[in-house]
Amino acid sequence: MGNIEVGGEYRVARPFVVLGELVFKAGDRVTVEKIDPNPERPANRYVVLSERVNKRFQLSEQDLLPCGPPARTVACPICAEPNDPLVRHCVKCGALLP
């Protein structure tokens, strides 16, 4: 894949389990916060935040996939969860979507 940019949005290519804790699922969206050269593992220089555990991890280019254009979503009127436009009910709270 092409250049990975700071501030760019990507999808995580594979699940990551760190110390028994799932920190990324395949397909999780992440934003590259900075590029931090890692002397021990030079490929793992892209710093991203795992919202699951609220910690930052360094991934490699192979671990990141392009997001493509932002997916269209419908915000839930109750909880503001972004939902796929094809679903009728909010995946989070079950409210009927507009």
Name the minimum Å distance from CB 85 to Zn ion: 14
Other beta carbons within 10 angstroms of residue 34's beta carbon come to 12
Nearer to Zn ion, 6 or 87 (CB): 87
By beta-carbon proximity to Zn ion, the closer residue of 15 and 77 is: 77
Binding stretches for Zn ion (CB under 5 A): 76, 78-79, 81, 90, 92-93, 95
Nearest distance in Å: CB 3, Zn ion: 36
| Least CB distance to Zn ion at residue 71 (A) | 17
